[in-house]
Amino acid sequence: MTKPWSATVFTILPEAFPGPLGLSLSGKALEQGVWALETIDIRDFAQDKHRSVDDAPAGGGPGMVMRADVLGPAVDAALEKSPDAPLIALTPRGKPLTQARVRALSQGPGVSLLCGRFEGLDERVLEARDIEQVSIGDYVLAGGEVAACVLIEACVRLLPGVIGDADSLAQESFEQGLLEYPQYTRPRQWEGREIPEVLLSGDHKKIAEWRREQAEKITRERRPDLWDKHNKR
């Protein structure tokens, strides 16, 4: 029997999971065994009775840093448990998470995710274990748990059978290098605003052309970086 796509999360807050991942489509797929989730408490690898995982930063400064002698054994446990799964640390210093990377991860065996807290992770662990560093955006969170949920949900929804209409995935933002076109539904008029007439015309060619034009317009206005990449294809 083929093993399901699996996410293993290393965190000091295992109670944060499954959180929203246990709801809606991802939650149903989790119950059905389409994918699997395991959390491992980093504090289990601590070496003192207080289960300490952090210490003051070398060189001084505010906050605390997660210790290498605690993270190292945790990472080794991840590599032993899932040697073929990419090992990723969620950090604002990482490479931006893209739909292309999400798609690649969803097609593999799963992921092992390292959730940092405090001021971050001891750099020696990241270097020694060649851990991929990923960021979900140019902002800072209190820890990697929310970012881990984002990455996992983005992957899970691409797994076969999770989304009922697989064709809808091809029309989403980023799949074609553009942001998605506007969507409408009933009622036909709302607060004096009408659904664009072309969408009610029944002319599928014109509808497709309108949607393409809208996607290009929105991408040009909101994400010129994506628009430049799209034009270079």
- Residue of 220, 14, 152, 28 whose CA lies nearest to 230: 220
| Residue boundaries of the structural domains of the chain | 5-156, 171-231
**Which are the contacts of 190, defined by CB distance < 8 A and separation ≥ 6?**
none
For every one of its 233 residues, what pLDDT tens digit does the chain have, with 9 covering 90 and above? Answer: 689 999 999 999 999 999 999 999 999 999 999 999 999 999 999 989 999 999 999 999 999 999 999 999 999 998 898 999 999 999 999 999 999 999 999 999 999 999 999 999 999 999 999 899 999 999 999 999 999 999 999 999 999 999 977 667 766 668 788 999 999 999 999 999 999 999 999 999 999 999 999 999 999 999 999 999 998 87
pTM of the model: 0.92
Question: Which pairing describes strands 65-66 and 87-96: parallel, antiparallel, or unpaired?
Answer: unpaired
Superfamily of structural domain 5-156: SPOUT methyltransferase, trefoil knot domain (3.40.1280.10)
Task: Give me the phi and psi of 82, to 5 degrees please.
Answer: -135, 75
Superfamily of structural domain 171-231: tRNA(m1g37)methyltransferase, domain 2 (1.10.1270.20)
